[in-house]
Each structure stands twice: as C-alpha cells, then as structure tokens.
Amino acid sequence: MEEEAKQPVKVSVLIVSFNNAAALRRCLASLERSKNREAMEIIVVDNGSRDESPQLDSEFPGATFLRLPHNFGLTKALNIGVRTSVAEYIFFLHADTEVLPETVSALAGKLDAQADAVAVCPLLVTPGGEAESSVRRLPDAGSLYSEWRNGQPAEGAGVDRTEETVPVEYPEAAAMMARGYFVKGMRYFDERYGEFGAHEELCYQIQRASKKTLIFPSIAVVHYGDHLPFDKLPSGARGLLSADRALGSAVYVSKHCGFLAGLKFRLTCIFTSLLSLQFACLSRLIGGQKIDGTQRDL
C-alpha cells in the first residue's frame, strides 16, 4: 500500500515572543490541540528572551523556533517569520492568546469562502468569557499622539456577538489571519516601525486595496493580556519603548499624511518629552534611537 500523501500546510501560525514563557507555553499547547494540526506550521520568533522561552523547543518539537540573539523590535521579527512561512495563510497570534481546537481551521475556512476578504479575526474574549472592546478606526496623527502620551491605546468598540460577520477597519492585533500573498506583496513590513506600526500598516493596506477585514463572533479566542504594564517597567525600558512608539508613529504619519506631518508629529513628541521631563525618552527621540538589538534596557 502506498504511503498516503502528506497534507499540504494551509496555515502558518506566527508568534513573536519576548520574555513571556508562561503565556507562550499556554499558547503553544492550545495550538497543538488544534483540529487538522497536520495542516499547520507553527513558527515562534523569540526576540532575544532571557527567561525560559528558549528551552520551550524541547516541549514543543512540532514548532519551529527562530531565536534572535537580541530584541530587534517586533517588525523585524515579524518579517523574519513571514519570510520563513510557507503556507497560503498567515495567522498572526500574540503569545498571550489561547485558541480553541477549531479556531485555526475555522478561520481558514472563512478565508476560503470570502474572496473579497484579505484578513479574518476571531472574537477576543477575556478568561471570564467577556468580549473585549477591540475594534477601532484606523489611527490618524491625533489619535496616535493621544495614545503615545497616555501610554496605552484608546478604548475600542465592542463587537455585536449576534452578528455572523462584522466588517472592521482596525481590529486588535492579538489574533488575525491574513492571505500570505498580500503580506508578501506589501514587500513585508517597513522595519522603520520598530515595535509599532506593522499591524496598522497591514490594516491600512487592506483598506487601500478596497478589501475587507472581517471578525467572526462565533469563533472566539481567549486573550489574557499577560504582559507587564507599561508603568511597571524600569525607567530605561519605558523611555526606550516610548521613543520607539513615537518614532514608529511618525513614520506611519509621514507615509500616509505626508513628510511634513510626520516631522511635526516627531517634533511634538520631542517637545512633550522635554516639558514633562521625560529625559530617557527625549534623548532617544532626538537621536532617532529605536529598538534595534543594540539596547539592553529591555
């Protein structure tokens, strides 16, 4: 009897993780329980973690671990993962998210059936089962500045769980499945974004192409939000992350609103940092220093 042909990989699950071993272990365990696991590849880009994350490959031999020696920023790590992926669809998944056994195959089936959709998302729910307010409009300079100054994203809108399909502009980035050809057709993500901007750019390009991003409330994943709050980080890390976000936002504004608008955004952040005596952020903003693997603050 001839050996049955191996099922082709349909979905590449891409996870970028940094110092988040417990959440990553939970996320990978949930993926391994997935229906049609053989049609998935799991790619973990470890962004220079110094916890036990690098040892998880022995627990999950079915996943591919790409270990970076330092934290080079989210966008670079995403590009490394996308270039490694071989499947038709790429499922961008945060490490602090837990899928159900049918999640991945159900989302892939929705993309198969929705020719005008480039991306599909599940409903994000808390561990207690409450739907998160995870839908917003695409950001502009004003909203980006407010989010940077407040140190957190603006409150989003909720999703009507009675609807079969909900078209959205800018969903939460914790779980999104997109067509691989579209992401690679963008020539990947602009690495000037650093930690901020890759997800926003993908959502922007989908809108620009007059395509759709859809949320399916019947497909839910649990989003734990397992990360250290910004205000609990050491001052050096806060300054670096704040500068990186401001610089990435300035790139986004410059690309979509014009060079002068991007320059104005950066200068406004510089003056704000000066007036609020945020010197750790100020020095990096002036020097244009983003997360690039050379820093040891994170």
Say yes or no: 49 and 123 in one domain: yes
- Domain tally for the chain? 2
Ordered DSSP codes for the chain = -PPPPPPPP-EEEEEEESS-HHHHHHHHHHHHT-TTGGGEEEEEEEES--SSGGGGGGT-TTSEEEEESS---HHHHHHHHHHH--SSEEEEE-TTEE--TTHHHHHHHHHHH-TTEEEEEEEEE-TTSPBP--EEPPP-HHHHHHHHHHTSPPP-B---TT-S-EEESEE-TTEEEEEHHHHHHTTS--GGGTTSSHHHHHHHHHHHTT-EEEEEEEEEEEE---S--GGGS-HHHHHHHHHHHHHHHHHHHHHHH-HHHHHHHHHHHHHHHHHTT-HHHHHHHHHT---SS-----
Residues of the domain holding 70: 11-223
| pLDDT given at position 5 | 55
Residue 70 sits in the same domain as residue 191: yes
Same-domain status, 52 and 190 = yes
Question: Do residue 87 and residue 218 come from a single domain?
Answer: yes
pTM of structure: 0.93
Evaluate whether residue 26 is within a structural domain. yes
Give me the pLDDT at residue 234, please: 73
Does residue 206 sit in the same domain as residue 153? Answer: yes
295 is a domain residue: no
Of the residues 169, 204, 223, the one at which a domain ends: 223
For residue 85, the model assigns a pLDDT of 96
pLDDT one-digit tens code per residue, 141-177: 999 999 999 887 878 888 888 899 999 999 999 999 9
> Which residue positions in the chain have pLDDT lower than 50?
1-4
